[in-house]
Amino acid sequence: MRTRNVSSAFPPPTALTVSGMRDQPLLTVAHRAGNNAADLRAALDAGVDLVEADIHLYRSALEVRHRKAIGPHLFWERWWEVNLRRNLVLPEFADLLAATGDRHRLMLDLKGPSLAVAPQVATELRRTAPDLAVTVCTKQWRMFDAFDASPNVRRVYSASDPLQLHRLRARLRAHRVAGVSIRRQLLTPAVVRELRQATDLVMVWPVDTEAALYHARRLGATGVISKNLPMLRRLVAAQEPAAVPAI
């Protein structure tokens, strides 16, 4: 799959410093902050590079939520948190695009199990925001085919378990990609060095504490995905911007 160069459409990452280490800027991503309007505004105001939102397809509607569905009537977030669908007000994808406006700072995490979410997202982007530069991330890599006609989409391959990481490493030995997003605990500095032979953007998650941020830097990651907005805000405020790596 050919990767398009859309680096000029994306904001520069902030340069993060951890315990005196300042070898390369890190892209800052506000994890799940795009899933409701208040968190989206806070993340945009904090100046993070990207705001992540989780996109699900339900009965032909694109819903913005991290909660997982249990049948047609229930959602669960953690094992002790179950909600009735009728008791929740979920933003739709069109609401997210409207709230973001022309700021090229969205990272859309496309959720399965159906691959149909991807073509619907691609269609909605072309219809309502054809000039908006968007990062799309998913663990179901076949979804990227839906964006072949979308030049402003940065495709980020995600891996959350050892098997997915094995498959990703094999893919990157043969093809260069725009970016990857990987569970931090799966990685070693040697693996990150290998990945960076095929991409300039290696994002890791979760990075919700100072210790995790230190570990991400030690790994050699070039981006961090965090739910800790105060930590990201401090980092953004303290550092100078740097150029986005070429895609």
Render pLDDT for 6-62 as a digit per residue (tens, 0 to 9): 344 455 554 444 444 444 678 999 999 999 889 999 999 999 999 999 998 887 889
Q: Note the Cα 241 to chain centre separation in Å.
A: 19
Statement: residue 208 has pLDDT above 70: yes
- Distance of alpha carbon 50 from alpha carbon 103, whole angstroms: 10
| Structural contact between residues 14 and 26, judged by C-beta atoms closer than 8 angstroms | yes
- Distance of alpha carbon 25 from alpha carbon 18, whole angstroms: 11
Single pTM value for the model = 0.84
Residues 6+ apart with CB under 8 A from 79: none
**201-212: average pLDDT:** 97
Please report, as a single letter, which amino acid is at residue 165. Answer: L
- Distance of alpha carbon 67 from alpha carbon 184, whole angstroms: 22
The string of pLDDT tens digits covering residues 143-195 is 999 999 999 999 999 999 999 999 999 999 999 999 999 999 999 999 999 99
Would you state the pLDDT for residue 140?
Answer: 97
**182-210: average pLDDT:** 98
Provide the mean pLDDT of the chain: 84
- What's the token pair of residue 111? 């959720």
- Please report, for residues 90, 169, 208, 245, the alpha-carbon distance to residue 174 in angstroms, rounded to integers and kept in the order given: 40, 9, 33, 20
Helices marked H in 59-198: 93-100, 117-128, 162-174, 189-195
The string of pLDDT tens digits covering residues 69-94 is 545 544 545 555 655 555 556 778 98
Task: Give me the phi and psi of 63, to 5 degrees please.
Answer: -105, 145
Q: Is 151 helix (H, G, I), strand (E, B) or coil?
A: coil
Would you state the pLDDT for residue 101?
Answer: 84
- Of 247, 109, 244, nearest to 178 by C-alpha is 247
The string of pLDDT tens digits covering residues 119-154 is 999 999 999 999 999 999 999 999 999 999 999 999
Helices marked H in 117-188: 117-128, 162-174
For domain 7-238, give the CATH superfamily. Answer: Phosphatidylinositol (PI) phosphodiesterase (3.20.20.190)
Would you state the pLDDT for residue 245?
Answer: 47
